[in-house]
Chains A and B, each alone.
Chain A
């Protein structure tokens, strides 16, 4: 054992002594133990604990470096104070002030204060490659008001600024100011404010993140360490989960109720909450996808129920309301008239005959007798549905969809490029139709901005920076999206979203095929305190960057053995 390890051991001993004191005060909650965390196939680890880097190791953004505010997608973006106790906009809404906790220490014992926040934001400004959140979209400087208060100045009114700055991970000035190139900095011995900051036993196959001795929540975390073993694929990590080797998992496991839960119904659990909206995009720069009737027919020919049942194992339900795009997350924003319209148009319901009628009425008939419908001018229609090779659940969904299109008389087939090609096709507009996810942010604005904002397309290259775009655009929608950002009046914002969702539905801009869950399974044989349907305090998936910290700080060992004694 080398000196470093010895020091660590001593530190751990001292730590556990001091914790013993805490535990004595609060004898209800046992402490100790190592929770084994697994999330899908991550291959092999390469140490990178830089929270601002594009690909930090697991846990870095979840439990090691902290944001100012925790936004839980489950609560429709309801904020939980974290490093900041509160925030407010200025009168004219062009400045945003955060009030920080004054009892936070960095893991090396230094005091956390406003200087660190100012330093971090200025670092991001200096190195745009570190801008994970998109702060630079509106950033006009940051000021330290006092040791525990900072004010961020905005270029213009930007009503979402608090969600963006709030999620910024804060790094310590006293360490990072000496780093020459923070973009390529791999931060092997991190100093942070989170609950788990001490990297132990790092190998490409496994590492441990152990408790921060100075964590600001009294007595927390209750467990000593989180272990992150690496697996090459879903199959391999699923075997480990089923074998009982894993405490906290975020995997898609086929037929999970039989293959996992049933093995030990008392301890093995899963809790799937729908948070990932998936949809069907067309490329409206090509005929016939520029025709709203054609898009409507496609939407009517999608077998939503079979997709939910087959592709997603029946873990989700897809009622007709899903067609509103932002249902159920932001259902209060959807006017009743829009739901009526959805029912009237037959959106969100699988009805091949109705799809055929829609096509027939719009002039798409089989003119050359090959069994497939043609354009009104007689030219043949043939198109592909693209989806990433290897994403088997959505590949299955694409197959189900193309089967529905074929049954409606359309010559559709599925193509499966690799992920990079898929993305390049989408950005460059080189596709017919595609499946893809959408974004539900803290407000419904993010959803519509990605899908309907024409300014996201570069007029010279035709490349889009939008998440996914059907390229059905209207200048009026761009204006509405802009107006939302400029508005600080909730009623006005609500009205703007109402107009957008109406346009989204009326023009069949995009077709939501279901809200897919955040996969999350756990076993309580060693650790308890996971969120579930009865106690939905956070989304459970360990890869969830914002809320995993809420779970990790709440876990505790179930008995003496798992507490490490």
Chain B
């Protein structure tokens, strides 16, 4: 998590080895694109896990009908049983309901934050890379300043400043503080693409800059954008949990992070109530792992060397 990783998908956006030629191959009709992903075992497994949790989030109300999953519904510290699949917290809240409804908030925060981070990164990175000149200088400076501002401390301060902690705050804070790394990677990729033949051709035809950025350059970085986006989502989910765990979240919200926070405050492991601690932690880990797997897959698909040699490796 933010502990030792740099923000927004460091693991996956290091060394974008995408040449215009190979990136062009990605401009395929959707079914082919999807097929190649599903053909990759790692990506397919990741997608399966992710779909599973997405379904849980979507049907949270059907799986655990309640108006408010934080409600105290039964006796406290009950071990898992038929009544309470994952037992109850020390306060008597239904952990199953919390995990199911928490999936909704935690994943929503993750995906929304990841998307906002990428939108900012794309806007700034592509503009800087394509337009160049003093605009590039300025945008690069801003990007680099955000890169060196210490992330977690800044998050703590901004979260304190907004003074009403909650999932929305987390989205806002993480978006504002975490877009710089992706923007820098996208900018350098744009610089490469700007000098390519097909962009030159579009310029000759007289297409306006924004059209070239949107319809020529961006589609050629799809895989890079997708893997950076997945990295950002993973970062957001883990950081949200971390913030809530140290008490900077809203203790009343129902998310995996707050369930862990309460488990910790009730000293779940000390009192033997492992069921309040393990399920939400495992959920975060599984969703995180699924995202990592998908990114593995995308790397292999877009980088033929990774893929070919992987098969060689398998054959050995």
Binding site for B on A (CB under 8 A): 234-235, 238-239, 242, 253-255, 258-259, 306, 310-311, 389-390, 392, 395-396, 399-400, 403, 413-418, 421
Contact = CB atoms under 8 A, between A and B. Distances in A.
Interface in B246-289: 247-248, 250-252, 262, 264-267, 270-271
A238 B267 contact: yes
A104 B99 CA distance: 63
A301 B284 CA distance: 37
B101 interface: no
Contact of A416 (B77, B165, B270): B165
Given A254-B90, A399-B91, A403-B72, A390 B267 contact: no
Contacts of B265: 234-235, 392
A235 B271 contact: no
Given A310-B91, A400-B72, A417-B164, A392 B271 contact: no
10 contacts: A235-B264, A238-B267, A254-B270, A254-B271, A255-B90, A392-B266, A395-B251, A399-B91, A415-B164, A418-B163
Interface SS, B side: loop
Contacts of B160: 418
A238 B252 CA distance: 24
A254 B264 CA distance: 11
A311 B264 CA distance: 15
A415 B77 CA distance: 25
B130 to A, nearest CB: 43
B271 A259 contact: yes
Interface SS, A side: helix
Contacts of B267: 235, 238, 253-254, 259
Contacts of A255: 77, 90, 271
A416 B271 contact: no
A396 B262 CA distance: 10
A298 to B, nearest CB: 19
A417 B265 CA distance: 17
B72 A310 contact: yes
Interface of B: 70-72, 76-77, 90-92, 160, 163-165, 247-248, 250-252, 262, 264-267, 270-271
A253 B72 CA distance: 21
Given A389-B165, A417-B165, 8 more contacts: A234-B265, A259-B271, A310-B92, A390-B251, A392-B251, A403-B72, A417-B163, A418-B160
B90 A399 contact: no
Contacts, number: 63
Contacts of B264: 235
A235 B260 CA distance: 14
A392 B264 CA distance: 11
A419 to B, nearest CB: 11
B79 to A, nearest CB: 14
Contacts of A415: 164, 252
Report which residue of A238, A413, A416 has the largest number of chain B beta carbons within 10 angstroms of its beta carbon: A416
A22 to B, nearest CB: 42
A414 B266 contact: no
B164 A399 contact: no
B142 to A, nearest CB: 30
Given A254-B271, A258-B271, A259-B267, A416 B252 contact: yes
Contacts of A390: 247, 251
Contacts of B72: 306, 310, 399-400, 403
Contacts of B270: 238-239, 242, 254, 259
A357 to B, nearest CB: 24
Contacts of A310: 72, 76, 90-92
A416 B91 contact: no
Nearest to A422: B163
Nearest to A390: B247
A200 B248 CA distance: 36
Contacts of B90: 254-255, 310
Contacts of A234: 265
A399 B250 contact: no
Report which residue of B92, B251, B265 has the largest number of chain A beta carbons within 10 angstroms of its beta carbon: B251
Nearest to B71: A403
A415 B251 CA distance: 8
Contacts of A403: 71-72
B245 to A, nearest CB: 11
B91 A414 contact: no
B84 to A, nearest CB: 16
A432 to B, nearest CB: 14
Contacts of A238: 267, 270
B298 to A, nearest CB: 39
Contact of A399 (B163, B165, B247, B252): B252
A399 B70 contact: yes
A407 to B, nearest CB: 10
Contacts of B71: 403
A169 to B, nearest CB: 33
